[in-house]
């Protein structure tokens, strides 16, 4: 399709979503197929940054899969550490919290392999809400990025910390194991990518805010029953839970962990 045809398709597609909303009908994820076909048809070498839409159209090692992979790696880290706990070895009178803290291997954040470091940083910072970072560390995303970049030096195939810094160690620990993540993706991200798509088509005057919020629930539903294969061969099954949440069953160490990735309340149309 040429640009004019693509614009007409988008107008028709989103008009259908608007009509369904007005008639209080619930669109089905299968209705996304023409939209996904369009996104998939756009060559990846054109100057158009819509990584989420591309990955949702064809989940395969893109930004969405990397976000899920990082959640899996954090769960695997937690699972490994839980597997090393033996409360019989705790010092007399020590609280469970103190014993668990004493068993954390903080040395791994002083010298990290290039593979482990790159898996967490810098893209891993985007997994956490700005307010959560400010609350926990007193720094926003950009401040944390600068701090980490100034605190580590790359040597051959690993990163070494330049000087002992409890804050940096704490931040790297959170990037490695915290499950306090933001939703897997958000309506605002979809809105931004739709705006970029329309800008590329020279159709900037076409409104997209409501369209993004109408599209978002369908994008979430499209991930129902999707399976993601991780770097170590383990698989995560995504599904829509009975209450409408997008959830995932991860299996680090072949132990099932089910976590919520996008809550149903975050899928509503504003």
Neighbour count for residue 195 (Cβ, 10 Å): 17
> For residue 104, is it within any domain?
yes
- Greatest Cα pair distance, the chain, in angstroms, is 74
> For residue 148, is it within any domain?
yes
> For residue 166, is it within any domain?
yes
pLDDT number for residue 269: 39
C-alpha–C-alpha distance, residues 43 and 200, integer Å: 13
Range of the domain at 80: 73-177
> For residue 119, is it within any domain?
yes
pLDDT number for residue 270: 39
> For residue 184, is it within any domain?
no
> For residue 81, is it within any domain?
yes
Neighbour count for residue 42 (Cβ, 10 Å): 16
pLDDT mean by block of 10 residues, the chain; 270 residues: 85 89 81 91 82 89 91 94 75 73 84 93 94 94 95 94 91 93 94 90 76 92 94 95 95 94 74
Instruction: Indicate the length of the chain as a whole number.
Output: 270
Angle at which helices 166-177 and 130-137 cross, to 10°: 140
Cβ atoms of 11 and 1 within 8 Å: the answer is: no
pLDDT number for residue 122: 94
- The pTM score is 0.89
The structural domain count of the chain equals 1
pLDDT number for residue 268: 54
> For residue 240, is it within any domain?
no
């Amino acid at each position: 399709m040429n640009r004019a045809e693509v614009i007409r398709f988008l107008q028709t597609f989103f008009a259908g979503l608007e009509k369904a909303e007005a008639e209080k009908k619930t669109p089905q994820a299968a209705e996304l197929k023409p939209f996904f076909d369009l996104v998939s048809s756009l060559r990846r070498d054109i100057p158009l940054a819509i990584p989420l839409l591309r990955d949702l159209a064809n989940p395969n090692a893109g930004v969405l899969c990397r976000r899920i992979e990082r959640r899996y790696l954090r769960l695997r880290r937690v699972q490994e550490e839980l597997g090393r706990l033996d409360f019989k070895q705790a010092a007399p009178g020590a609280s469970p919290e103190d014993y668990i803290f004493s068993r954390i291997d903080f040395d791994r954040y002083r010298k990290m392999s290039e593979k482990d470091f790159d898996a967490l940083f810098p893209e891993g910072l985007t997994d956490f809400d700005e307010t959560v970072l400010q609350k926990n560390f007193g720094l926003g995303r950009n401040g944390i990025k600068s701090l980490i970049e100034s605190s580590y030096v790359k040597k051959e195939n690993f990163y070494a910390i330049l000087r002992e810094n409890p804050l940096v160690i704490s931040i790297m620990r959170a990037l490695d194991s915290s499950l306090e993540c933001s939703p897997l993706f958000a309506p605002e991200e979809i809105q931004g990518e739709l705006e970029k798509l329309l800008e590329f088509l020279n159709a900037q005057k076409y409104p997209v805010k409501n369209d993004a919020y109408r599209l978002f629930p369908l994008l979430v539903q499209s991930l129902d029953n999707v399976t993601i294969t991780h770097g170590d061969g383990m698989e995560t099954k995504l599904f829509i839970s009975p209450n409408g949440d997008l959830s995932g069953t991860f299996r680090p160490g072949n132990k099932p962990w089910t976590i919520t990735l996008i809550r149903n309340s975050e899928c509503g149309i504003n």
